[in-house]
Structure 1
């Protein structure tokens, strides 16, 4: 299933329960409830209390168990990825306990120990605890094996390479025991530097799932933090990654369903980079939270990037979000970049101002962009049909708040794009929802209140830019084609930044504009859209 089809399914609002374990269940150590609200809005976690008995005695199975509520259409996620609800349920009696200790780790069924390398070689569920100051955990199971590793207070560091490696399995599930704190630190230099050798603190050659109610801290001192060379699903948990190069990378796809994820990376923050298969190289955020500070791109996919729910914050990046197709249908996105904020690029190069197949599509949610380059940029087309889009674009005239090679179509939602006056792109005249273009005679300082009012004096828009602004493109359901609107500054607002409500108290009129009448921005570049396009 391609991501665009999946995003469309997530926007339908369907409700489907994939798997749920009740308090009466006695065979699941830490039960995880997978449910759906369709649009992907993150739901609160719940706690399941259960006890289980085994030959070794009675264990409290759920006194602190936090059920991971994954907010997505479960059937579609299961079809598009390797993940399903069975991944997060298991029989506690079948767990294999392994205690890690320097020169004293315990072997067990399916587990061998060689010095401080602990290798899991069979399908099953393994509960690890303890620490290795210079060791490694290796999963080397059969190609059809599903291996579940529960980290229950684990700390592993390596001086020669990765701290945790999956060399073979059908699927590896890394479950963070509820309430546990775990850490994986790799070496600053690796003994094996071959092209196909592991290069991340947590590295998997198989499909990888990270879930659970605990915490995981990953330090990528050599290159990347977390890497799956197949698919990667972040189902839940509190995950913190600090990496020299890329933070989190899922080659075939990366799906963030729930949990809290914080990434600091010298390269790309979070990425899916399969450029060989047209159905892969996609990235989806449907719930939870993702905070990224990156030296290069914040969140990047080769093919498609979708946000259907949750909270996505890029606090620093070269380009904030980048993919061939970027679709936002829900959630909250806040991007800060030194170049383009949201950039639909890649695919076959078109050159010059020629429009390609790239697409930015916003149908819901909230998108806020603060960019030094272009704010919302598409080498192809862009569509806004719902949600709220706020762009605080560049001060320099070589870039624009909006930069679209093809048509920018607005049929719903609210759009406020402020920036320089040199490269102004306006919506297509044929857009179902009208817009106004405001050009200020002199730059409006950051923090100023800009108001639009209709012929009756009713305020239809109140906007507070966070940067000095020379132009504003605004569209909402309140803007009526061919109607004249008065532009004022210095009025009152109930917000310190972005869109809000306000009055005209203290306002100074700076001019009038007519909805649907646009002027060219001028200057060369992909986004220099001509009026009427």
Structure 2
């Protein structure tokens, strides 16, 4: 497996983890400073928000509506295998020509009838183009092809058993092309030894090794036992037209440097390394895997199918097991485990564009999901993950500081300063630990299907049980058809840049995160996702944020530019100071711009000060933030969202299809914005208040389709006020049991929308074209009417059991009903 230079998952996870810790520590320190600043809270808050385009008071927030920027929907490329590969007529030739040379193998020698081949020292060397029919047994020798002719060499295996103890039993040193035909009704075996006598180039490296294009056709069978390294390797193109091929390899199964193309056939691979791979990383037009059809059973210690550039699947039936399956997936350290009961900091609904309060999935749950056997039968249990010992501290269960009181102590002796998170470890600073992490990540890729540039699925039935991502691309992933059945210990579908699903069926039975990319577009298809963390995660492609790596410019890009005060996009001064603190700490961790440590006021106490941050402005913002936070804490305590981090560029766009998500983390998570113009989306969100069924940092603009979510209340969000379609968000006083049906009925008693959540919940959100401004509606739970209200004035109407409210009233919540 070729090692990659990207550690995308590790970098993104560490960046999110650090940001969460800084926000948490900053908020605790802000609360601890509240008592000393309470007398000036009202004045400071007013002064701080004066420069914002919106207006702000202690109890309410009014921000200017901003148009949602929705990028053009990512359209599938439309590429198929036909765009990549066209075979020659000779690649389909399976019959012997009239002038074919016959080679009868006899243990340690051979009898040759015809021209172009000679036998010596237990081996046969073919020196001219033409057709050669081989049969018999070769106990310890080689079939060598070494010709300067441009015409092809056609080898017909008519029942052979080839063994070479110290080299490749079939070794193509030079030829224009080699066609290897498996004669009808024959069984052919090729076996090598555990050690090779290599040439100066380190060749050969496979039991069947070709330095020329290699095509395999015919209807017979071929069994390759590769004890040294790879099963079948071509240093140019490897084409499989037909045949039954079984490979057991000490390293990789099938390797084609310039390409691997499979048109049909039945292929079984058991490889300690990768199953099928193409490795050319020097030519953007090569290094791809294209599969038009066939039946594949692949068990691989590392990646199942890997293309250095593209992987395109038009059809076929696949059963892929990598890294021992999803139960052997990586242990995931949760970002801010446990949840906060009331969820987040500050009162009321989390403002649009603001960053959510720190929170994560404390217990990812068992997430029952199937492993896959050869028949597609399902059984097994998902990887539950484990929290790392160095994870950020969480508030003890039920803890909530008194108004103006002292926040609870950090558990486990955790320091309340930034030093513990400043990257001061000498090995990290030198880049040693980062290099070790990269090596570990590179050597441990156990993905189902992986592409370096673009992964396209146009059709086929693909069953994946992978320890690592099921379908992964360092660029784009496109699904335009097919039936995907996925069990994974990490992401189900992951594209570093774009993920597009236009048609087909995607059934994610168990995963850590379901769908992940910077730009996610769902235009069609039937998608079901079960995730122990986020169901759908639109997040920006990672930058160099690991300790000790990256340049100052990369640090700035990863952390953002420090602000000197609030802007119109921010909702309060505390948010601005929090973002400023987070930015500076992020840079300090990168180890490129931070130069020393200094303490400031409120949230700036956790900032490792640097010359790239405007310290005076940070200090001033912190003063105002302290006063504002004091007033908020006195009025609301722990409640809704935290707000303040600028929205990223990530985008989730839904224009069609059916999407159902069951997530223990966030259901739909966009580190940017969400736009929905069509389709049907149902989200069964988390039961803990540290995550939400919806989580977006920018806006959620809905203008079509049907959206239904159910989940916890502490971090609940609904579509934005800029939306053209109305929404209703209902928060229950007590937790509702799983299986409780919730109906939204109009004034005639007709059900406008309904949901029966599969797990406990306190908040439901309905958005439908059937909702009308001025209409009167009733929410019923368990067939009992709970509240009746009239939609008026707001795009999203928040209600609880008392009637219309000004926002999410989740808070701590009551007991299970």
Tell me, yes or no, whether TM beats 0.5.
yes
Report SS of the residue matched to 1:224. coil
The equivalent position to 2:278 in structure 1, one of 204, 212, 218, is 204
The equivalent position to 1:235 in structure 2, one of 293, 314, 323, is 314
* CA deviation map 1:211-240 (0-9, x unaligned): 21x31011112x222111111001110011
Matched with 2:465 is 264
Matched, 1:158 2:249: yes
CA gap of 1:153–1:345, structure 2 versus 1, over 3 A, is same
Within 1, Cα distance between the matches of 2:217 and 2:668?
46
The equivalent position to 2:264 in structure 1, one of 139, 151, 176, is 176
* CA deviation map 1:49-95 (0-9, x unaligned): xxxxxxxxxxxxxxxxxxxxxxxxxxx423xx775286489566535
Matched, 1:148 2:239: yes
Alignment of 1:180-199 (within 5 A): 180=266, 182-187=267-272, 199=273
Within 1, Cα distance between the matches of 2:693 and 2:730?
13
* CA deviation map 1:346-384 (0-9, x unaligned): 236566632010000000000000000000000000011
Give the number of the structure with larger relative contact order, counting CA–CA contacts within 8 Å between residues 6 or more apart: 2
Aligned-pair CA distance for 1:299: 1.2
The equivalent position to 1:218 in structure 2, one of 273, 295, 298, is 298
Matched with 1:360 is 652
Alignment of 1:469-484 (within 5 A): 469-484=761-776
Within 2, Cα distance between the matches of 1:134 and 1:111?
20
Within 1, Cα distance between the matches of 2:72 and 2:697?
25
Q: CA contact under 8 A between 1:372 and 1:393: conserved in structure 2? A: yes
Matched with 1:521 is 808
Report SS of the residue matched to 1:133. strand
Aligned-pair CA distance for 1:513: 4.2
The equivalent position to 1:510 in structure 2, one of 772, 786, 789, is 786
CA gap of 1:106–1:395, structure 2 versus 1, over 3 A, is same
Matched, 1:110 2:159: no
The equivalent position to 1:450 in structure 2, one of 729, 733, 742, is 742
* CA deviation map 1:164-205 (0-9, x unaligned): 1122x2x3212232xx3x211112xxxxxxxxxxx5122211
Normalised TM-score (structure 1) = 0.71
Aligned-pair CA distance for 1:140: 3.0
Aligned-pair CA distance for 1:420: 0.4
Q: CA contact under 8 A between 2:81 and 2:314: conserved in structure 1? A: no
Within 1, Cα distance between the matches of 2:261 and 2:537?
33
* CA deviation map 1:325-348 (0-9, x unaligned): 110000011111111100001236
Q: CA contact under 8 A between 2:170 and 2:209: conserved in structure 1? A: no
Matched, 1:306 2:500: yes
The equivalent position to 1:133 in structure 2, one of 194, 211, 225, is 225
Q: CA contact under 8 A between 1:345 and 1:378: conserved in structure 2? A: yes
Q: CA contact under 8 A between 1:101 and 1:131: conserved in structure 2? A: no
Matched with 2:588 is none
Which structure's CA Rg is the greater one? 2
CA gap of 1:313–1:430, structure 2 versus 1, over 3 A, is same
Within 2, Cα distance between the matches of 1:92 and 1:229?
24
Aligned-pair CA distance for 1:122: 3.4
CA gap of 1:354–1:101, structure 2 versus 1, over 3 A, is farther
Matched, 1:291 2:485: yes
Aligned-pair CA distance for 1:269: 1.4
Aligned-pair CA distance for 1:119: 2.3
Within 1, Cα distance between the matches of 2:156 and 2:509?
39
Report SS of the residue matched to 1:354. coil
Which has the larger displacement, 99-108 or 450-459?
99-108
Within 2, Cα distance between the matches of 1:480 and 1:361?
24
Matched with 2:450 is 249
* CA deviation map 1:88-126 (0-9, x unaligned): 895665355664755287789626989471124434642
Report SS of the residue matched to 2:512. coil
Within 2, Cα distance between the matches of 1:88 and 1:363?
38
Matched, 1:397 2:689: yes
Within 1, Cα distance between the matches of 2:467 and 2:308?
20
Q: CA contact under 8 A between 1:486 and 1:511: conserved in structure 2? A: yes
Q: CA RMSD in A?
A: 2.7
Q: CA contact under 8 A between 1:137 and 1:164: conserved in structure 2? A: yes
Within 2, Cα distance between the matches of 1:322 and 1:510?
37
Matched with 2:120 is none
Matched with 1:61 is none
Matched with 1:378 is 670
Matched with 1:54 is none
CA gap of 1:310–1:88, structure 2 versus 1, over 3 A, is farther
CA gap of 1:305–1:247, structure 2 versus 1, over 3 A, is same
Structure ranking higher in strand proportion: 1
CA gap of 1:265–1:114, structure 2 versus 1, over 3 A, is closer
CA gap of 1:522–1:357, structure 2 versus 1, over 3 A, is farther
Q: CA contact under 8 A between 1:322 and 1:342: conserved in structure 2? A: yes
Aligned-pair CA distance for 1:473: 0.8
Report SS of the residue matched to 2:703. strand
Equivalences, count: 408
Q: CA contact under 8 A between 1:358 and 1:379: conserved in structure 2? A: yes
Aligned-pair CA distance for 1:261: 0.5
Alignment of 1:46-85 (within 5 A): 76-78=77-79, 83-84=82-83
Matched with 1:94 is 93
CA gap of 1:124–1:203, structure 2 versus 1, over 3 A, is closer
Q: CA contact under 8 A between 2:171 and 2:210: conserved in structure 1? A: no
Q: CA contact under 8 A between 2:216 and 2:243: conserved in structure 1? A: no
Matched with 2:361 is none
Report SS of the residue matched to 2:649. coil
Within 2, Cα distance between the matches of 1:335 and 1:120?
43
CA gap of 1:254–1:5, structure 2 versus 1, over 3 A, is farther
Aligned-pair CA distance for 1:243: 0.7
Structure ranking higher in helix proportion: 2
